[in-house]
Amino acid sequence: MAIVICNEVGGIGIGHAARVLRAGGDALDAVERGIWPVESDPRIHSVGRGGWPNLLGQVELDACIMEGAHLRSGAVGAVRGYLHPITLARRVMERTPHVLLVGEGAERLAAECGLERAENLTREGAAFWEHWRASAIPGDEARAWPPDALAPLAWRAADPVHTHGTTVFLARDGRGHMAAGVSTSGWALKYPGRLGDSPIVGAGCYVDDRYGAAACIGQGELTIRAGTARSVVLYLKLGLSLSDACREAVRDLEHLAADRLSFVMIHALDASGEHHALCWGDHESPRYWVCSGEQGPASLVNAGHVR
Ligand code: GLY
């Protein structure tokens, strides 16, 4: 059974992903195609163009793509000036011997591959950053911008609302191959160079055709520490049901010393095409999109919730 699922902000892309599957296309193409519109939409402030800027007012993007047949993956982190980090992640996988490129090296590959450039800091993003700087930094510090020590600002700037975001897509195509993709601008006002879980294979996403796929949104610092996406797939391998595998991965998160920012939502698809999502932490009515690769429109489904 061909199927694609994505988180709520991915809704604008799921139809594109489903069309790839309905035309007999690959899960990997479906995932990439589904993420493109999310990255392009400046109204989505946690992904791609229009994403939240970091402490220096720069938009740095992270993405990862992975296929489940042979567990090949590519990822990029802290990329500036390109529209589709998910495609750049795929180029890392297909055109280099590496898995993860960051910053200038990733941008160099994007230029080599002729990927589309973009000014990802929109007027709205710049206004958000200016407002934060004006309200958070006392006058003397603002005059000496940027201050020598940014780390204290990273603590002060972090707030629960703007740590959410990211788009995740999981797909299974008609041949039974699976793929996962994640793209994000990460936390608003993050320390420059900060990578979340999205570009970290096994944290932000993981897929193995034999068992299933998982991908996370929320506070990446937690899912990196717990290896959450990989854990879900491993729990499937050990014989747990899809919902039990997600619940066990949340138990692992509960074990971490966490803080007021704790929020993670796991999206999961098993090798038979069953889907599930489980939210941990504060969130009003967590939901995700599901679309069959055979027919019918996408539907928005309630996720499980553990507080
Ligand atoms: N989960 C996205 C991030 O932490 O950047």
Site to probe by mutation for ligand 1, drawn from 102, 197, 253, 264 as the one with most ligand atoms within 8 Å of Cβ, is 197
pLDDT digits (tens, 9 = 90+) for 128-176: 999 998 887 777 666 778 888 889 888 877 766 665 679 999 999 999 9
Please indicate whether residue 148 or residue 116 has the higher confidence score (pLDDT): 116
More confident of the two residues 119 and 136: 119
Is the CB of residue 183 below 6 angstroms from any atom belonging to ligand 1? no
What's the DSSP call for residue 189? T
pLDDT for residue 291 is more than 70: yes
* pLDDT average, residue stretch 270-298: 92
Which tokens belong to 158?
């972090």
Contacts of 179 (CB under 8 A, 6+ apart): 26, 27, 28, 30, 31, 65, 66, 67, 68, 170, 171, 173, 207, 213
Please, what is the average pLDDT of the chain?
93
Dist. CA 65 → ligand 1 center (Å)? 15
**24 CA distance to ligand 1 middle (Å):** 32
Question: Is 218 close to ligand 1, i.e. is its CB under 6 Å away?
Answer: yes
Task: Phi first, then psi: give them for residue 78, nearest 5 degrees.
Answer: 55, 45
Domains along the chain? 3-306 (3.60.20.30)
Read off the pLDDT of residues 191-239 as tens digits, 9 standing for 90 and up. Answer: 999 999 999 999 999 999 999 999 999 999 999 999 999 999 999 999 9
pLDDT value at residue 155: 81
Neighbours of 211 (CB within 10 A): 22
Check residue 148 and give its pLDDT. Answer: 86
Give me the sign of the Cα torsion angle 178, 21, 73, 44. negative
Q: Is the pLDDT of residue 260 over 70?
A: no
- Annotated catalytic residues are 166
CA 110 / ligand 1 centre spacing (Å): 22
pTM here? 0.96
